[in-house]
Structures are given as structure tokens and as C-alpha cells.
């Protein structure tokens, strides 16, 4: 990518199986502190079984969303940062300069995607930096490279939008006009759209008796 191009992500909900390889590979590569996850995978579900004309029918649905920072074109986080630590840099990537961050958490409260993550150990905010050092070397971000189902892609957002049909206003994410996220999501047949209140969201801390540091 060229430095003046806008970085973005593509996520295919027809391919994502919620394995969390992207989340864990990011955490491992960035050596993130306990409780800090730059990419998070949520299970989204809803619906129920119901009686319809003496037949039991169902409208249950489920899908996964893998979400990090969307390096928004109108970022809520940079607007509220009192020190300018949260800033847009090359490739349009939004990153936090930890030396200037005073840990006030204003960015975390402003971001509708929960992207900025407070690092209790350092006392500063941390977040997805688009694996910027890898982009400089013409390498892929770790999360997109590690997805075993090729559900994630990164690149110039204009090219991703031209290549894939999709949108970013997918439940439980906010409507895309809030921050203009550089994100394209290919919905599955089950996908609900932003504002749909029938969805429930899970990010289990414990599965089959094993505890995970994923929230
Ligand atoms: S690695 Fe791929 S399939 Fe697995 S949760 Fe992440 S995006 Fe989904
Ligand atoms: S997703 Fe949140 S942290 Fe990332 S650029 Fe947008 S508003 Fe800022
Ligand atoms: S681009 Fe890099 S920092 Fe951002 S979620 Fe993916 S692996 Fe993590």
C-alpha cells in the first residue's frame, strides 16, 4: 500500500466460523496484556421457536463478527483525545502515541466499536495499529494472514469496496455514518443490520471448562 492510501478491512460473514485465530494471533504478535484484545470476535445470535398454525417453526440465527479498529475516516477517538496522542497517521491508520497518552480513556468512551483498549500495566491506551510496521514492509497484518478460512482481508479500502459487495452497518455495530469506518462486511443470510434490537451478543470467557482471556 502507498502511504497516502486509506487502509481498511474486509470481513466475509459467510466464511467466518468464530475460531478466534485472528484474535489470538494479534494478541500473541503484539504481546498484548491480559484483558487487552485489539481484535475481538463476537457471537451474535437471536430468534426463537414458535407455534405457527399447529407447526413448530423457528427464526433462530447466528453469526460471528471479527472486529478491530476500523481506522475510520471520521474517527470519534481522535476528536476527544485531549493530548493529541490518538492520531491518524500513514495509510490512514489511527494509532495511539503512548508517550503522549495520559490514560484518561476518553477515546475508549467515544469509540462505538470498543477499539481502544486500556492497558492497566502501562497506564496508557493501546489499540490496533493496523500492524503498520508490517505494512511498511509490504506484509499483511497478522490477523488477516492467520485467518484459516480467508474471511479477513486488508488493503486500500477503495479497492476492497470495488472488489466486494458489502457494507459496515451490521448488528451489533453502529450505522456506518457515525464514524465512517473503513470496513466492508459481506453479510450472510442470517446477518441483521445496525439498530436491530433482536440480536444478543456473546463473547464467552469460559468454554467447555477452559477459561479464555478474550474479553
Ligand atoms: S480467524 Fe477467520 S474464521 Fe476465525 S474468527 Fe477470525 S475471521 Fe473468523
Ligand atoms: S474504530 Fe474507534 S478507535 Fe478506531 S478509528 Fe474508529 S472511532 Fe477511532
Ligand atoms: S491489524 Fe494487526 S493490530 Fe490490528 S487487529 Fe489485525 S493483527 Fe491486531
- Cα(50)–Cα(58) distance, integer angstroms: 6
- Cα(37)–Cα(130) distance, integer angstroms: 13
**Which of 23-37, 171-185, 197-211 is predicted with the least confidence, judged by mean pLDDT?**
197-211
Three-state DSSP at 95 gives strand
Give residue limits of the domains in the chain. Answer: 7-202
C-beta 78 within 6 A of ligand 1:
no
What are 17-70's pLDDT values in tens digits? 999 999 999 999 999 988 899 999 999 999 999 998 889 999 999 999 999 999
Kindly report the average pLDDT of the chain as a whole number.
Answer: 93
Q: Is residue 203 over pLDDT 80? A: no
Instruction: Compute the distance from residue 101 Cα to the ligand 1 centre, in Å.
Output: 31
- Cα(10)–Cα(6) distance, integer angstroms: 13
Give the per-residue pLDDT at 40: 93
Confidence of residue 1 (pLDDT cuts 50, 70, 90): very high
Give the per-residue pLDDT at 34: 84
Residues within 6 Å of ligand 3 by CB? 26, 30, 38-39, 68, 128-131, 141-143
Residues within 6 Å of ligand 2 by CB? 69-72, 75-77, 94, 111, 113, 115-116, 127, 179
Mean pLDDT within 182-193: 96
Confidence of residue 139 (pLDDT cuts 50, 70, 90): very high
- Cα(103)–Cα(157) distance, integer angstroms: 30
Mean pLDDT within 71-77: 98
- Cα(8)–Cα(186) distance, integer angstroms: 14
Q: Is residue 150 over pLDDT 70? A: yes
pTM over 0.85: yes
- Whether CATH 3.30.70.660 fits 7-202: no
Give the per-residue pLDDT at 215: 42
Residue % of the chain over a pLDDT of 70: 94
Substitution candidate for ligand 2 out of 73, 181, 183, 185 with most atoms within 8 A of CB: 181
User: What's the CA dihedral at 95, 100, 106, 112 to 10 degrees?
Assistant: 0
Mean pLDDT within 162-180: 95
Closest residue by Cα to atom 5, ligand 3, is 39
Amino acid at each position: 500500500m502507498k502511504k497516502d492510501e486509506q487502509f481498511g478491512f474486509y470481513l466475509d460473514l459467510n466464511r467466518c466460523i468464530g475460531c478466534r485465530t485472528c484474535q489470538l494471533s494479534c494478541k500473541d504478535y503484539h504481546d498484548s496484556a491480559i484483558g487487552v484484545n485489539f481484535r475481538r470476535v463476537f457471537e451474535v445470535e437471536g430468534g426463537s421457536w414458535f407455534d405457527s398454525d399447529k407447526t413448530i417453526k423457528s427464526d433462530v440465527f447466528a453469526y460471528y463478527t471479527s472486529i478491530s479498529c476500523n481506522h475510520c475516516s471520521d474517527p470519534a477517538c481522535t476528536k476527544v483525545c485531549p493530548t493529541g496522542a490518538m492520531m491518524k497517521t500513514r495509510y490512514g491508520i489511527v494509532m495511539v502515541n503512548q508517550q503522549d497518552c495520559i490514560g484518561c480513556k476518553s477515546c475508549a468512551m467515544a469509540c462505538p466499536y470498543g477499539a481502544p483498549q486500556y492497558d492497566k500495566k502501562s497506564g496508557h491506551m493501546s489499540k490496533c495499529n493496523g500492524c503498520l510496521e508490517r505494512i511498511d514492509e509490504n506484509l499483511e497484518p497478522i490477523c488477516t494472514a492467520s485467518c484459516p478460512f480467508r474471511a479477513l482481508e486488508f488493503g486500500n479500502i477503495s479497492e476492497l469496496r470495488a472488489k466486494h459487495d458489502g457494507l459496515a452497518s451490521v448488528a451489533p455495530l453502529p450505522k456506518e455514518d457515525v464514524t465512517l469506518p473503513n470496513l466492508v462486511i459481506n453479510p450472510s443470510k442470517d446477518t441483521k443490520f445496525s439498530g436491530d434490537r433482536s440480536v444478543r451478543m456473546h463473547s464467552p470467557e469460559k468454554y467447555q471448562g477452559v477459561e479464555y482471556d478474550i474479553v
